[in-house]
Amino acid sequence: MIDARRRIPSVEKILESVAFEEILDSHPRNLVLNHLRDEVDRIREYLGSGIDTEDMEDPTLYAKAVRWSLETATSPQLHPVINGTGVILHTNLGRAALARTAIEAMEGSGSYSNLEYDLNTGRRGSRYDHCATLLHELTGAESALVVNNCAAALVLALSTIARGRYVLVSRGELVEIGGGFRIPEIMRSSGALLREVGSTNRTTVQDYLDALKECDTALILKVHRSNFQITGFTEEVTIQDLTKLGKEKGIGVLHDLGSGLMLDPEVLGLPPEPRPVDSLSVGVDLVAFSGDKLLGGPQAGILLGKQELIDQMRRNPLCRALRIGKTTLLALEATLSLYRDSSSAIDKIPTLTMILSEPDKLRKRAETIAGQLSDEGVDADVIEMSSVIGGGTFPGFELESYGIRIQPRQQTVDELAGALRSGIPPLVGRVEEGAFWIDFRTVLEWQDCQVINALCGHIVCAKG
């Protein structure tokens, strides 16, 4: 018997075949050649293990494989996903979904813009001026600076104000936010020196006073414990008292808030949460927060506060390295301008809309979808669930929600979850108690029909 591998035609010959005409029409020859070589190698290896395959002389076998591998290799790697997890600010799924007006605003990056051009004078302008006026209008902050994310904002502030000098932080606030963000490490990378004060559960004004006596202090940093709580025998110094202390001693105070909530938490049905405006109103020198957490905008780090400090930061060469892109600025400005009217913010910013979605409405949506699925022969129960805000905010806080639960019979739940993840668009849900759960709070309403399509395509029905 001859070696089966010898029956594989040459790469050139395969490429010349009719089966490859269309592929070569729509892809560069070199790319097709590389993919074909890989396929041939794979088949050769497969045959080398002693298994015989028929039809290996047929070019359509190779064409089919190459078409598939080209499609996988040339389709975008980053694409929309349906979030059925019930985690509103899901960090792994890109945190906040943007408002329609923010998406439309980003169209502006398809042409030139006045990004760094002053249209009044015809001279050079600054990209940092665009959102500054709006942020002043919304928060009363003297000045503003927007960089890549909140971590960048902190590194910039610390490096500008406290390089080589001490920054006081309560031991109860040396937090890890996740994704490599730890206060002591951020501090080190900025060149500032960390001086821990107090204990994990209790820090008093006296602790700060003692530290101020002992070291060359440039700044007091207060970090909001976004993602955990400490309860029991605890004490911490309020931002109001810290600001007072800073003023008395001539030391700046920076409040790292993380979440950037603009509206009253009570209006959103949320537990108390410090907001940038609250800290600014007690006279703090600087606040820092994210654009893509509770603000509901694009990834950005926003610094608000004293003009002099903001100007110093703008002049720091590091600011150039952390500078924000025009597409992000367009989306941020559009998001912020929705906050001029809080009801339009609630209606149009998906993060806020999702927080305020009525459980009753979610239940009705779940029932409608379960009904449509049942018509297609897919069994789904409507189920009460609880959603969370996520993104390292509001630990332990849950929102009553509704979704559907599917218990696949002909496949394992992991197989189903895997199949749904590989769909277009992928659907990510929760796998719990041997079932697949989809929480409708985080499914954008226009994606409901995509959920149905995804489930109908991937559930192995008894019926069919």
Asked if 90 is part of the footprint of ligand PLP (rule: CB under 6 A), the reply reads no
The pair of structure tokens assigned to 318 is: 């590091």
The pairing of strands 399-406 and 217-223 is unpaired
Q: Nearer to ligand PLP by C-beta: 321 or 424?
A: 321
User: Alpha-carbon distance 200 to 202, whole Å?
Assistant: 6
59 binds ligand PLP (CB under 6 A): no
- Of positions 177, 212, 287, 302, contacts ligand PLP by CB under 6 A: 177
Site for ligand PLP in 13-52 (CB under 6 A): none
CB atoms within 10 A of CB 276: 27
Q: Which of 158, 275, 269 lies closest to 219 in space, CA to CA?
A: 158
Cα separation of 160 and 314, whole Å? 9
Cα distance between residue 437 and residue 158, in whole Å:
43
Closest CB 145 distance from ligand PLP, rounded Å: 14
Could you tell me the smallest distance in angstroms from the CB atom of residue 139 to ligand PLP? 18
Question: Per rule CB under 6 A, is residue 302 in the interface with ligand PLP?
Answer: no
Question: 286 - beta bridge partners?
Answer: 254, 305
CB of 399 to ligand PLP, least distance (A): 19
Indicate the residue among 212 and 388 with the shorter CB distance to ligand PLP.
388
Q: Which residues contact 69 (CB under 8 A, 6 or more apart)?
A: 35, 38, 39
Question: From the centroid of its chain, how far is CA 423?
Answer: 21
By CB under 6 A, is residue 190 in contact with ligand PLP?
no
Q: Can residue 226 be called a binding residue for ligand PLP (CB under 6 A)?
A: yes
Question: Is 181 a residue that touches ligand PLP (CB under 6 A)?
Answer: yes
243's enclosing H/E stretch is: helix 239-249
> Is 106 near ligand PLP (CB under 6 A)?
no
Q: Output the smallest distance, CB 293 to ligand PLP, in A.
A: 6
Site for ligand PLP in 240-259 (CB under 6 A): 256, 258-259
User: Which residue, 40 or 194, is less far from ligand PLP as judged by CB?
Assistant: 194
Q: Which amino acid is at 148?
A: N
Is there a cis peptide before residue 425, judged by omega within 30 degrees of 0? yes
Residue 302 · residue 144 · CB < 8 Å: yes
Segment contacting ligand PLP (CB under 6 A): 10-18, 220-228, 279-287, 329-337?
220-228
Stretch 144-163: interaction string toward ligand PLP, x if CB under 6 A:
-----xxx------------
Q: For residue 450, report the phi and psi dihedrals to the nearest 5 degrees.
A: -70, -35
- Under the binding rule (CB under 6 A), the answer on residue 279 touching ligand PLP is no
Q: Which residues bind ligand PLP (CB under 6 A)?
A: 149-151, 177, 181, 223-224, 226, 256, 258-259, 290, 301, 392
